[in-house]
């Protein structure tokens, strides 16, 4: 049984493109809007008035998006301004009206409370309702994020207790906006059927959060008990990302059907911290202590494990030689100690790794199988909840999908959403706090308003916003659990480009879509994200690895996980190979050269590479992945590594959005750090432990000739 939200997909003919179109055909029509024709004078429209239709009374009424007034009769401009004259003291009473209604002025009858009342659920709030038909290919009329037409959110209990005569507070207007939701998409896809994900519910999300936290604890205990080390920083988060590249399971967060079972990411990162974690050092004494600790840990491990006689002999001899050198040479410099440590690692590392291999594989396997068991529990609880609500998962009707090209639209679910429990909302200064069963999540008020706008544009099964608060709670809880509980943990994996860079990408290269984002950190209202089951209600087009655009201009700033970035490049080349329509991807990845990542190497040698430029470390910035909750002064942080910006385009995309010198200079100008003081550095965005843990010295950014060996017509590499 399909839900009212996810019925048969319909589209305006103006939005349908010819599936056999070529690069020489006319550009697709812009996404049409469903805004009703205004039968009002221009002065009233500019003052915020619009004519709407009441389905309940079956007659028109007039609504002011600035003041939230609703009137049956057409307003007259200048008679009464509720902002400058809230009590209507200066409004002239109209003839035939009672003195008590003089505040309304000009004969305008105040609507009765019964006319405004509506049947609302536990999470609903009164909203001015404008009947606008919505289809997947006809997006709603964009509203600026700072539009004052959004009524402030209040708790349902406070709304009932409040007196009707008290004027509503002024709508919240964020002082700084980090998004532009007015930009329409140019991304075109083939029409697709609704997804069969189970609809989100706070009870299930709470259980998933508890089990994921428990899984993190298991990982910590296994690393400590078996190897005597702390889990590598954020390795669990990168494990979730890497597993989802190959996972065929049904849970949106935890993996359950992966091949291979042993995660290459987790195995590599644990092995790099054996026998001890090697951190970056600054002083001579720190280097001496690090060398001593490594030698001791290697000897202890080789003695306590089942090592071969040759391995014991090699490790013990090198450790004794190192100890003698430490006792003998007290005038060594920091560089001498680091060279000696590197030599010891090369000699002992292979033998230490051979004795730890089985144990580390056991850790990876144990975590995966526990995760699979948790997924089984979560899904069973979810199916039971839906069954209690008389919602059948197996009997969902198949939706007929036409083979045609349409502008991209958010993910729709084929399974009806169950009734949602009550979620409490209150504000603490500029922070919105949502509580369910004692579990509170927080988001700043600006991003809360952003989520409301995204929900208004994208969700079509909840016109009264009855499920809005519960879905916001599920959304924030999902990302909170994925981030982890450590200080700044996970925020580096969700970092975003600065706003000026997005503006330049849209202005010069026609970018309207983000390949890796979330409702919390997106700049455009159209984006791909990790969790289609909950993010789809807020505009997500689903995971990028399953997204198939035929044309459009895209920005890609993926989480810095090697396996995910490598899969991303494979997806790019496959899409560019298949499409003859204009298709362009502008990719931002870390410039890791020691050793170079497979993704970076493949993009540099790709035949679709049109241009590449390098932004040096500490000379540019990212927006924090915790921007929805962090302080304003912590919004940006310096990048601790260089960033490679690579343009992958097919021939039609290159002809339409060519990275000319003028456009590149505009992008470089947007990348320059402003005069504000930035933290140095911010959340760690280094993704692999072998790059984060090596005691290497800071590398200076150098200009390199990265011209494509295949496409000799590509412009030269640019370095800021």
Domains of the chain: 42-71 (2.20.70), 202-389 (no CATH), 408-674 (3.40.50)
DSSP state of 32: P
Strands 49-54 and 59-64 come out as antiparallel
Spatial distance between the Cα atoms of 439 and 435, rounded to a whole number of angstroms: 5
Strands 609-615 and 718-719 come out as parallel
Residue 577 token pair? 């190979």
pLDDT score recorded for residue 528: 97
pLDDT score recorded for residue 371: 98
- DSSP for 269-321 reads HHHHTSSS------SHHHHHHHHHHHHHHHHHHHHHS---HHHHHHHHHHHHH
Nearest residue to 690 (alpha-carbon basis) of 263, 277, 242, 337: 277
Alpha-carbon dihedral sign for residues 390, 391, 396, 397? positive
CB 718 within 8 A of CB 668: yes
Alpha-carbon dihedral sign for residues 603, 605, 611, 616? positive
DSSP state of 519: T
Spatial distance between the Cα atoms of 378 and 368, rounded to a whole number of angstroms: 15
pLDDT score recorded for residue 73: 83
DSSP state of 94: P
- The low-confidence residues of the chain, meaning pLDDT below 50, are 1-37, 82, 84-120, 125-169, 675, 677, 680-717, 720
> Please, what is the angle between helix 468-483 and helix 202-222, to 10°?
10
pLDDT score recorded for residue 173: 64
Angle at 430 (CA atoms; ends 427, 432), nearest 5 degrees: 40
Burial of 472 (0-12, 13-18, 19+ CB in 10 A): buried
Angle at 272 (CA atoms; ends 271, 278), nearest 5 degrees: 140
- 73-108: per-residue pLDDT in tens? 888 765 555 454 444 444 444 444 333 443 333 334
pLDDT score recorded for residue 177: 86
Spatial distance between the Cα atoms of 691 and 104, rounded to a whole number of angstroms: 68
pLDDT score recorded for residue 281: 85
Nearest residue to 615 (alpha-carbon basis) of 599, 638, 596, 584: 638
């Amino acid at each position: 049984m399909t839900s009212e939200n996810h019925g048969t997909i319909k589209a305006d003919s103006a939005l349908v493109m010819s599936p056999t179109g070529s690069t020489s055909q006319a550009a697709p029509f812009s996404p049409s809007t469903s805004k009703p024709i205004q039968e009002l004078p221009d002065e009233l429209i500019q003052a915020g008035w619009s004519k709407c239709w009441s389905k309940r009374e079956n007659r028109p009424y007039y609504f002011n998006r600035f003041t939230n007034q609703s009137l049956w009769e057409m307003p007259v401009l200048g008679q009464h301004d509720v902002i400058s004259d809230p009590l209507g003291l200066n409004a002239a009473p109209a003839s035939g009206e009672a003195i008590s209604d003089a505040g309304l002025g000009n004969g305008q009858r105040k609507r009765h409370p019964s006319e405004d009342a509506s049947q609302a659920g536990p999470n609903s709030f009164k909203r001015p309702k404008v009947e606008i038909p919505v289809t997947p290919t006809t997006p709603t009329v964009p509203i600026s994020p700072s539009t004052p037409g959004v009524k402030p959110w209040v708790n349902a209990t406070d709304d009932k207790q409040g007196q009707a005569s008290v004027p509503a507070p002024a709508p919240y207007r964020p002082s700084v906006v980090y998004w532009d939701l007015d930009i329409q998409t140019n991304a075109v896809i083939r029409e697709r059927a609704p997804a069969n994900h189970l609809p989100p519910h706070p009870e299930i999300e709470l259980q998933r959060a508890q089990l994921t936290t428990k899984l993190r604890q298991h990982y910590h205990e296994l690393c400590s008990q078996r190897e005597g080390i702390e889990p590598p920083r954020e390795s669990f988060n990168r494990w979730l990302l890497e597993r989802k590249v190959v996972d065929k399971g049904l849970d949106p967060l935890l993996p359950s059907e992966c091949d291979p079972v042993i995660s290459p990411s987790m195995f590599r990162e644990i092995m790099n911290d054996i026998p001890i974690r090697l951190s970056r050092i600054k002083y001579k004494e720190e280097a001496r202590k690090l060398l001593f600790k490594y030698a001791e840990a290697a000897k202890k491990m080789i003695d306590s494990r089942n090592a071969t006689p040759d391995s014991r002999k090699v490790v013990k001899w090198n450790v004794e030689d190192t100890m003698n050198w430490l006792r003998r040479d007290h005038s060594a410099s920091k560089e001498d100690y680091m060279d000696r440590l590197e030599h010891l690692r090369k000699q002992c590392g292979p033998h230490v790794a051979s004795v730890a291999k089985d144990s580390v594989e056991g850790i990876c396997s144990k975590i995966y199988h526990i995760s699979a068991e948790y997924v089984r529990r979560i899904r069973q609880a979810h199916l039971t909840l839906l069954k209690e609500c008389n919602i059948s998962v197996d009997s969902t009707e198949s939706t007929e999908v036409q083979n045609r090209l349409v502008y991209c639209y958010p993910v729709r679910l084929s399974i009806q959403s169950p009734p949602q429990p009550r979620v409490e909302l209150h504000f603490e200064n500029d922070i919105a706090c949502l509580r369910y069963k004692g579990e509170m999540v927080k988001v700043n008020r600006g991003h809360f308003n952003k989520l409301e706008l995204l929900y208004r544009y994208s969700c079509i099964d909840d016109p009264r916003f009855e499920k809005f608060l519960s879905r916001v709670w599920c959304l924030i809880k999902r990302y909170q659990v994925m981030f982890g509980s450590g200080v700044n943990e996970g925020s580096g994996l969700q970092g975003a480009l600065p706003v000026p860079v997005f503006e330049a990408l849209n202005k010069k290269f026609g970018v309207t879509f983000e390949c890796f984002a979330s409702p919390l950190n997106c700049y455009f209202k159209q984006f791909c994200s990790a969790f289609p089951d909950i993010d789809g209600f807020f505009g997500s087009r689903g995971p990028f690895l399953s997204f198939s655009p035929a044309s459009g201009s895209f920005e890609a700033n993926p989480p810095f996980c090697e396996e995910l970035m490598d899969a991303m490049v494979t997806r790019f080349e496959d899409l560019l190979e298949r499409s003859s329509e204009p298709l362009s991807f502008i990719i931002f990845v870390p410039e890791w050269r020691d050793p170079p990542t497979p993704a970076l190497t493949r993009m540099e040698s790709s035949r679709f590479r049109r241009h590449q430029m390098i932004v040096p470390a500490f000379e540019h910035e990212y927006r924090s992945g915790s921007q929805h909750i962090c302080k304003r002064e912590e919004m940006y942080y310096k990048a601790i590594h260089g960033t490679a910006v690579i343009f992958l385009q097919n021939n039609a995309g290159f002809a339409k959005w060519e990275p000319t010198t003028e456009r590149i200079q505009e992008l470089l100008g947007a990348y320059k750090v402003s005069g504000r003081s930035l933290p140095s550095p911010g959340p760690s965005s280094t993704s692999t432990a072998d790059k984060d843990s090596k005691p290497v010295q800071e590398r200076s950014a150098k200009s390199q000739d990265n011209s494509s060996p295949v496409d000799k017509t590509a412009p030269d590499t640019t370095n800021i």
